[in-house]
Amino acid sequence: GTPLTLENITVDPPKGSEVRVRMVSAGICASDAHYIWGQQTDADLDFGGKPVVLGHEGAGVVESVGPDVKSVGVGDHVIMLWLPNCGKCPLCAHPKTNFCMSVDPYSTLYHEKGVTRMKINGENLLSFLGTSTFSEYIVVREVQVAKINPKADLKTACVIGCAVGTGYGSVVNIAKVHPGAKCAVWGLGAIGLSAVLGCKQAGAATIIGVDINPDKENIAKQFGCTRFINPKTLDEPIESILQKEGGLEFAFDCIGNQQVIDSAYKSLCPWGSLTLIGT
């Protein structure tokens, strides 16, 4: 519930299977902002009053590696993965998910046994989701970095590890939108726009972008929306309008608001499906 502060910290060298990264860019997600706004929910982490470096979307260049690191080397361009990918646990090996079990959001607050690689005046600084992309240098587990093409723009690649994978993957891998489909996406932030992009590349014929911010209309259409609806400008519920048009085959909630979830569900045709992306 208090503003971020700019501090000088120390970042220790990586150990074992850790990687130290010089950050180039970071994305800002509402999951970070919840703590700044003082709007934590039961689903959010409890830092126990300890200082923490926020940020879980980022791109940078590997500065040094621990002795056990094999997948990346010094100079590689990488993005951060707030959700680890060990490639070995039962869920990483499962054909329908890669919701890795190797570490959890609480264990990633520390690097090992209550110790972190980041310190301020000798005190441990917690690492948000093990990534802490708001720091100029970070130490992350090898399972939380992915090497990317060095030709990619690091200033925009920062959102791939969270927003893009979440929105795009929900459309392509979870909902499996088909060519000619009729879709709508509620919430046109980075996740929602990534879902729109997924619908477009899947060949959807109708892609409706829904947002109460009128400024989102232009960028929504740039990403592939065939239509933009602002529910606050309607004379009747959006679900009533969409039902009169035959309903949706695919609806995507990228907000997590109960009223939005209800509207999206009620907008479906009899065989339609709703994918809940917001939390």
Q: Which residue has the tokens 């309008």?
A: 241
The contacts of residue 54 (CB under 8 Å, 6+ apart) are 4, 32, 35, 36, 128, 132, 134
Active-site choice (100, 162, 183, 199)? 162
Which residues share a beta bridge with 127?
53
Active-site choice (31, 170, 263, 267)? 31
Helix or strand (DSSP H, E) at 57: strand 57-65
Annotation marks residue 34 as catalytic: yes
- Residue 24: is it exposed, middle or buried by C-beta count within 10 angstroms (0-12/13-18/19+)? middle
Contacts 24+ apart (CB under 8 A), 35-43: 35/1, 36/1, 36/2, 36/3, 36/4, 37/1, 38/1, 38/2, 43/279
Q: Which of 217, 189, 241, 224 has the alpha carbon at shortest distance from 28?
A: 189
Annotation marks residue 71 as catalytic: no
Report residue 3 as tokens: 């503003």
Q: 127's torsion region: left (phi>0), alpha (psi -120 to 50) or beta? A: beta
Annotation marks residue 94 as catalytic: no
Query: What single-letter DSSP state applies at residue 112?
Result: B
Active-site choice (25, 34, 89, 273)? 34
Q: 55's torsion region: left (phi>0), alpha (psi -120 to 50) or beta? A: left
- Residue 66: is it exposed, middle or buried by C-beta count within 10 angstroms (0-12/13-18/19+)? middle
Annotation marks residue 31 as catalytic: yes
Annotation marks residue 86 as catalytic: no
**Rounded to 5°, angle at Cα 245 from 243 and 248:** 65
By annotation, the residues acting in catalysis are: 29, 31, 34, 56, 162
